[in-house]
Amino acid sequence: MLQVILTAVVLIFLLLVWLAGWAWLEIFSRFEPKANRLLQAGPADAFLIGITMLGMASYSILWVFGTMPPLGYWAMLGLQLVLAILGLRLAIRRCQGHLEKKRSRGLWAILLIWFVVLGLFAAQLPLLGYDARAIYGLKAKILADGGSLWGPDFRDPYRLHFASNYPLLIPILESFFFRFRLLIDPNHAWCDVGVPLLFWPFVIAGTTMIVENANRLAPGWGFLAGLVWVFTPMVWRASEGAGLSGCADLPFAVFTAAAVCHVAFGWSAGNRFELLLGGIYSGAAMLTKQEGIIALGLILLTIPLNQLMEQDAKSIAGIWARPKCRNDCLLKLGFFLLGVVPFVALGRGLHAGMPQQAYMRSYAATLSWDWLTQVVNRPVVVLGFALKEFIGNHWGLVWLVLAIALLMRRKRCLSPEVRFLRLFVAFLLMSYSGIFVVTPYPLSYHLNTAYARLVLHTLPLATVILIEQLAATGWLAINRSSETSCGTLFAR
């Protein structure tokens, strides 16, 4: 019974965060002229921005006090409640408009049933992944217990605390769960049954975000994109690294995908609100996993490269020669950075001084000639492992479909947004492969424990790219005159 009450409390908490997200969206949309406000933000954005701002506010408390006191949790909940009341009206208005647009309500009902099933599944699961417990879960318990970031829990290299200097957004979220449990069921204060429920809304937000972005690139195809993503076993399973295992990889994937999509669209349309959202999500990704810094670097690399591929070198030179164009570009970059910088500051402020555990190794040390000469045979091993991974059952056949689809001839040119997405995914996969090549840890161990999780980071964007490609090839354009039946389906 107590578990049911706890589940209900967690669901109410998540609902508050989602509603508060609408209020945050309203606030941030003030950067854009009234006509464009909130046009590009949907329910997924409301949840993601709600979680991000809750994390940021909690991070700020940690930055100042070094600990999350009980009063801090109550203050955060109070803030969520106030913002939720403000966001409620907007949420109702927006969701009504959203539902009216849906033609295939029956198909959405299937998705809804699937989400309910996943919710029930997640509510009964404990944390199962190694990282979920050793990295994120332990931090969550320490935070919920009022442990200090300046104390030995985080700063003693001999404390048995795996990767104690990792980002804290997910542990902060989980620490709310443990605080609720401390209130409701103090006899089992540190029991983690039900924690994966916190990752369940990321599955839903990811689906909604993919549907919305696929629809923007290929109108009418969003639902298929959502289906391909949400049923892929790696997204919702509880095995190591999968979506409901309690690892931070699913939230990271959703944050990164949302950031990249908003930056791609925002840059093309010059939409400040979207660029700001892109920056904020990029920052959220940095506070979710260390790979966030790679994602940020790649976004900053992709922006000029995409521009370069859009126009010839002469036009690029022209842009810099014309003050208006140059200022326009700098303004757009400024709005993106405006979203990111506070997160970078928080991350640096809190984690920079944290020592690594005594048994961890430094990636910086791998950039030595001596080490690089030792690992010259690794690219082949990494490539071989990657090929095996991409056809693994837990991905379904999504990577195979993508590979075949990319061979098909498009009927329309690549839009700058699609090119942006493709470049980013390619760069991210290359960066991760590069990390595995130089890793100071045994390659076999690192590949087997981390590769699938890292590939998950690219799945939301890969799904959007796949569906856009299928739409662009006119794949569903069939000749209706040649009607056939199931009996002749395989006749030819």
Partner 1 sequence: MTACKEYRNNESGSFWMCFLGGLVALVSTVVILLATLRVTGIATSLGGIQLPRRIGWPMVMLLVGMVLLIGAWPKANSPIHRRCQSAVDHLATLWRAQGLLGRLVLCALIGHGAISLAYAFELPANLNEVFLERAKLTTTPVSIREGDRYVHWEFFIPQWKKTIPSRASLAYRGQWEGPLIAYELYPRRLYLLPNDAQRLAANWNNHRWLAKKTRGKSLHDRWVDEYWFERSSWPTFDLKSFIQERGITFLLTFDEADEKTCSLLRIPDFSEDKLRNDPSAVRVDP
Looking only at residues 175 through 194 of this chain, which bind partner 1 when binding is defined by CB under 8 A?
A: 190
The answer to the question of residue 390 lying near partner 1 (CB under 8 A) is: no
Between CA 443 and CA 455 the distance in angstroms is 16
Q: Which is nearer to partner 1, 359 or 369 (CB)?
A: 359
What is the SS3 string spanning 372-418?
HHHCCCHHHHHHHHHHHHHCCHHHCCHHHHHHHHHHCCCCCCCCHHH
- The size of the interface with partner 1 (CB under 8 A), counted in residues, is 76
Token pair, residue 312, equals: 């010839």
The answer to the question of residue 364 lying near partner 1 (CB under 8 A) is: no
The answer to the question of residue 400 lying near partner 1 (CB under 8 A) is: yes
The answer to the question of residue 238 lying near partner 1 (CB under 8 A) is: yes
The answer to the question of residue 363 lying near partner 1 (CB under 8 A) is: no
Site for partner 1 in 189-218 (CB under 8 A): 190
Sole window of 64-72, 118-126, 425-433, 451-459 interacting with partner 1 (rule: CB under 8 A): 118-126
Task: Name the minimum Å distance from CB 441 to partner 1.
Answer: 5
Task: Name the minimum Å distance from CB 457 to partner 1.
Answer: 20
Residue 491 — φ and ψ, nearest 5°?
-70, -30
Q: Which is nearer to partner 1, 228 or 464 (CB)?
A: 228
First to last CA, the chain: 59
The answer to the question of residue 108 lying near partner 1 (CB under 8 A) is: no
Task: Name the minimum Å distance from CB 489 to partner 1.
Answer: 4
Identify the residue among 404, 412, 430, 434 touching partner 1 (CB under 8 A): 404
The answer to the question of residue 483 lying near partner 1 (CB under 8 A) is: yes
Between CA 222 and CA 210 the distance in angstroms is 7
Task: Name the minimum Å distance from CB 249 to partner 1.
Answer: 18
Sequence-ordered alpha helix ranges (H) in 33-137: 43-65, 70-101, 105-124, 130-131
Site for partner 1 in 151-180 (CB under 8 A): 152-153, 156-162
Return the ∠ at Cα 143 (arms to 276 and 293), rounded to 5°: 35
Sole window of 64-72, 130-138, 165-173, 419-427 interacting with partner 1 (rule: CB under 8 A): 130-138
Cite the beta strand spans of 241-375 per DSSP E.
none
CA atoms within 13 A on the CB side of 224: 17
The answer to the question of residue 376 lying near partner 1 (CB under 8 A) is: no
Site for partner 1 in 22-41 (CB under 8 A): none
Closest CA to 284 of 22, 25, 52, 44: 52
The answer to the question of residue 361 lying near partner 1 (CB under 8 A) is: yes
The answer to the question of residue 374 lying near partner 1 (CB under 8 A) is: yes
Site for partner 1 in 430-449 (CB under 8 A): 440-445, 448
Site for partner 1 in 294-313 (CB under 8 A): none
CA atoms within 13 A on the CB side of 240: 9
Between CA 18 and CA 47 the distance in angstroms is 4
Between CA 366 and CA 189 the distance in angstroms is 42
Between CA 418 and CA 461 the distance in angstroms is 10
Identify the residue among 398, 450, 456, 465 touching partner 1 (CB under 8 A): 398
Q: Which is nearer to partner 1, 98 or 410 (CB)?
A: 410
Q: Which is nearer to partner 1, 259 or 402 (CB)?
A: 402
The answer to the question of residue 490 lying near partner 1 (CB under 8 A) is: yes
Between CA 402 and CA 408 the distance in angstroms is 10
